[in-house]
Amino acid sequence: MPTLVSHPDEVKVISRRFGQGAADIDKYIELDGYKAVQKAISQGENMAAWIIDTMKASGLRGRGGAGFPTGMKWSFVPKQSEKPKYVLVNGDESEPGTCKDHVIFLHDPHAVIEGTMIAGLAIGAKMGFIYLRGEYRYLLKIMEKAVADAYAKGFLGKNIFGSGLDFDIVTQSGAGAYEVGEESALMESLEGKRGVPRIKPPFPAVVGLYGGPTVINNAETIASAPHILLMGGEAYAKLGSERNGGTRLFGISGHVERPGVYELPMGYNLKKAIYDVAGGIKDGKKLKAVVPGGSSCPVLLPEEIDVGLDFDQMGKAGTMLGSGGIVVLDETVSIVEFALRTIAFYQHESCGWCIPCREGTDWIKKTLTRVYNGGGSKKDVANVQYLAENMMGRTFCPLGDAAAMPTLGFVKKFRKEFEDYIEGHKAGTPIITVEQLVGAH
Amino acid sequence: MSEIANSIFTPETAARFDRLVTLYPVKRSALVPMLLYAQDEVGYVSDAVVTEIAQRLDLMELDVRNVLSYYSMLRTKPAGKYNVQVCTNISCMLRGGYEILDHCRHKLGIGHKEVTADKLFSLEEVECIGACCWAPAMQVNYDFHDNLTTVKVDEILETYRAGKGKDVK
């Protein structure tokens, strides 16, 4: 069971109920639970506009990785629609390095439910789906119980909080596919199909689940909504940095002394997060590299980590904030091995629909496997770069980019290590077999 | 009441399936969860499971197989009573995921996707299971075990062997 960590620099908004037994509905209510949704309803006719304005003022940007402003996303849903509208919560948290939603589902499931209701009220939906990855079965049970408890209290179902509005929530489980984290693939999966992406446009806000307008948000984004409505959009925005409102959950893993999920203000310094918050590099070793926002984000060198953790500053630093999963590598890590393990994941998870992703990930994996086993040539590094560059922007969904971006980062920033490795293993003695290394199939 | 006259599932699971199909605007949405729950009960998605689920959802068997082949947690062959899934993705790898996997291989005497002779354990190397900050980690059926050491793994396997393990399904 995940252990909770804490640090004085944390600003606890979304994590303020963690560790207090808020999975229990009565405890959740005691800790201001379901107040935000009632506050929204009390706005009367202005309810939808008030929610969306507050969300816009909060500067909240999607916590799943892309960082799109949430209030704006909700405002894109057409007011009038012949087909029913839906809210879909993306809890298919599968990006390696990311485990923040795990903690929300475990410690504050009702915040996800309340957030779903708020999103529903904002867009005029009567139904919400909370989709958890299949591996989170024990968390699905917690969510299922929380939803049942909310129904038992009369918070969900007909005439919620005397508003005359109805709202239903269905919890749903996936069955193991990273691709399903992509919003249109998530809709396909929820409709009982293979989780492959849809062509856009139309965008889900117009044509989404079952053909109806749909808002899809990451679980952390949704769980932030009740807190924002209670504290006010401006107050929330002030916690963060420019154009990056509020706080977010950062999962710091890998070679640090105190790995864990910490809630830090947007714009918090990455170096401080690693050295102060997470206790520095494990066993006093030297830092070699940081993957700052889940496995798809380009790697940073030690001299590049004095940067603020928000979408804009990370973009300027040539990488991404992504899902906030910071992976720290010490000096003992072989980048060749690490790059191979990363691409092996994307090769495994590519849905295979489009050629640049399906063939590109496979080709890069095979090339790096050969390099790792001692059979590489210097040309391989250039080939890997060429392949990754040709995947970028040429796939139906972002998985192709997600595979290409870290690969490019590794070969550009650690080219010498790749070349030295190839040079040093000219004898061609395999260190480890292919099956041992990438056997996860 | 189940629409299927001769269900291969227990009455509880059949009732759960009957309820599942009513939750969604479209019946087919229940497909992925149904396959998972069916697998939990039968041990794998057998031909009979495919047939009955297709019937329950008014789908062709081909539709069901098409989905079945896509998701990595669904299997068409039996696993052990306890399916040990060791994560070796980046965060776990950095903190010894491969040592844990090798230890399990040695301890159980089986490799990736193999089952022990007594059918008690099966072993899988899996991609990220969302326990990055508590790495290295593994799942036994749906039960998470994190901050692993080889000693801890031995204790965990022993607990299951003795029939005292938590079996989350």
- Please write the tens of the pLDDT for every residue from A255-314: 999 999 999 999 999 999 999 999 999 999 999 999 999 999 999 999 999 999 999 999
Question: DSSP letter at A332?
Answer: T
Edge to edge, the sheet with strand A247-254 lists: A260-265, A247-254, A325-330, A287-291
Residue A441 has pLDDT above 50, yes or no: no
pLDDT tens-place values along chain B, 169 residues long: 456 778 999 999 999 999 999 999 999 999 999 999 999 999 999 999 999 999 999 999 999 999 999 999 999 999 999 999 999 999 999 999 999 999 999 999 999 999 999 999 999 999 999 999 999 999 999 999 999 999 999 999 999 999 887 766 6
A3 contacts on B by Cβ (under 8 Å)? 134, 147
pLDDT of residue A387: 95
Q: Give contacts of A341 with chain B, Cβ < 8 Å.
A: 88-90, 93
**ipTM of this complex > 0.90?**
yes
Query: What sign for the dihedral angle of Cα B138, B143, B144, B149?
Result: negative
- Which of B32, B35, B127 is closest, CB to CB, to A440? B127
Whether the pLDDT of residue A71 is over 60: the answer is yes
- What token pair was written down for B87? 């994560």
Rounded to an integer, the average pLDDT of A363-389 is 93
Alpha carbon of A298: minimum distance to chain B alpha carbons (Å): 14
Cα distance from B139 to chain A (closest Cα, Å)?
A: 8
In this model, does residue A35 exceed pLDDT 60? yes
Q: Is the pLDDT of residue A440 over 80?
A: no
Q: Mean pLDDT for chain A?
A: 94
Q: Are A373 and A421 in contact (CB under 8 A)?
A: no
Average pLDDT of A8-34?
A: 97
Closest CA to A63 of A120, A121, A14, A132: A14
Inspect the interface and report whether the beta carbons of A342 and B28 lie closer than 8 Å: no
> What gap in Å lies between CA B32 and CA A139, rounded to an integer?
17
Segment A207-223, tens digit of pLDDT:
999 999 999 999 999 99
pLDDT value at A19 more than 60: yes
Contact A251 B132 (CB under 8 A): yes
Contact B90 A97 (CB under 8 A): yes
Per-residue pLDDT at B53: 97
The pLDDT of A150-158, averaged and rounded, is: 97
pLDDT at position A425 is 76
How far lies B47's CA from each of A70, A250, B13, B64, B113, in Å?
Answer: 44, 44, 17, 10, 20
Decide: helix, strand or coil at residue B138: strand
Say if the Cβ atoms of A170 and B24 lie within 8 Å.
yes
Continuous H helices in A335-398: 335-349, 355-372, 378-391
Contact A172 B33 (CB under 8 A): yes
Pick the closest to residue A246 from A63, A20, A437, A49 (CA basis).
A63
The predicted pLDDT at position A426 comes to 60
pTM higher than the cut 0.90 = yes
Contact B90 A260 (CB under 8 A): no
Q: Residue B1's pLDDT is what?
A: 47
| pLDDT band with cut points at 50, 70 and 90 for residue A184 | very high
CB A71 within 8 A of CB A298: no
Are B61 and B51 a contacting pair, CB within 8 Å? yes
Classify B124 as helix, strand or coil: strand
Provide the shortest C-alpha distance from residue B6 to chain A (in Å): 24
Q: Find all residues with CB under 8 Å of B101, minimum gap 6, and list them.
A: B86, B88, B125
Task: Report the percent of chain A where pLDDT is more than 90.
Answer: 93
Do B125 and A440 count as a contact with CB atoms less than 8 A apart?
Answer: yes
Q: How many whole angstroms separate alpha carbon A282 and alpha carbon A331?
A: 11
Position A439 pLDDT exceeds 60:
no
d(CA A324, CA A248): 8
Q: Are A259 and A268 in contact (CB under 8 A)?
A: no
Decide: residue A428, CB within 10 A, 0-12 exposed, 13-18 middle, 19+ buried: exposed
For testing the chain A interface, which of B41, B83, B132, B144 should be mutated: the one with the most A CBs within 10 Å? B132
pLDDT above 70 coverage of chain A, percent: 96
The pLDDT score that the predictor gives to residue A433 is: 47
